[in-house]
Homo-oligomer: A and B are copies of this chain.
Amino acid sequence: MCPPQTAAVVGTGTIGLGWIALFAARGLRVRVSSTHPAAPERVAAALGLYAASMPGGPVDVRDLIARLDFPPTVEDAVTGVDVVQETAPEDLALKQELFARIAAAAPAGALLFSSTSTLLPDDLGAAVDEPGRVIVAHPFNPPHIVPLVELVTSRGTKPEVVEAAADFYRWLGKTPITLRRPVPGFVANRLQAALLRESIHLVREGVVTVDELDDVVTSSIGSRWAVVGPFRALHLAGGPGGLRHWLSHLGGGLERTWAGLGQPPSDESVHALLIEQVDASFGRQPYEDLAARRDTEQNAVLAAIAAARAAGTGPADA
């Protein structure tokens, strides 16, 4: 792949702003397509925050802003670009129309990505001449920090386009994972929802408060899953006998454990309970401070893992 030079970002919501910051920090010329009347000012203000929390360390926001253009139309924004990242609201008809215009005006070889978290690529590309060009590239918020990009292709996506898509995100410093088939909610958000369901159940049952549950997670499974995923963790929990040993001894009990997990509602009374407990704890602290702290610490975690891997820890690294 030739290094990309120019990208278009369509939309300037939270996700769009994250992509703009990351693309510009990586040296791309970024065409910003926004229906917002004060888009340049809005983007410049947001980039100040993003520039301070870049994974490799703070960057000069003026360097980022100098790489942006604000063309008047979507067609102008995508003309001649290598990559398009669409981040419009989650409205299928709107996105279908956008992709029809994007595909007609962008170069035939441009990669066309949607940041959608809920829509499937077959639907997004329905109004495009070559529907398989549209690929879901779903980031985890904030996109400039969290490594994951879930790639979801459609029936017609050519293998070389899938490969070019993954190459692009690796070039960007991300961790692209291509789903083998589409599933509503993709992978990370489904896993998150599963854990959240049991979390809400335990708070609702009065076993722990939201604050205590958060502390349980950060002091155990959180830092564990930062370094090994659930299957590798299970394999190691089996000792030298590995997953085989674990499943033969404890696998039978899994169904009983699962049957005992909670199925809380997500209704007014549950919401009120959660909000009350959050307000009583960290909920009154300024959003910007909490978010900045989260981002600083997550960058520190990712850097520490990268450093530990670079240093190596034995033959398994060979």
Contact = CB atoms under 8 A, between A and B. Distances in A.
A247 to B, nearest CB: 5
Contacts of A215: 175, 177, 229
Nearest to A152: B207
A67 interface: no
Interface in A264-318: 265-266, 271, 274-275, 277-278, 282-283, 285-294, 296-298, 300-305, 307-309, 313-317
A257 to B, nearest CB: 5
A303 B301 contact: no
A227 B301 contact: yes
Interface string A211-235: 1111111111111111111111111
A238 B132 CA distance: 33
Copies held by the complex = 2
A314 B231 CA distance: 37
A185 to B, nearest CB: 6
Interface string A129-173: 000000000001100001110100000000000000000000000
Interface stretch (A31-39, A76-84, A97-105, A188-196): A188-196
Nearest to A199: B230
Nearest to A194: B198
Given A290-B316, A300-B308, A199 B195 contact: no
Given A147-B219, A188-B220, 15 more contacts: A141-B237, A180-B207, A180-B212, A185-B257, A190-B260, A191-B195, A191-B202, A191-B217, A193-B261, A197-B261, A217-B229, A223-B226, A224-B298, A255-B266, A300-B305
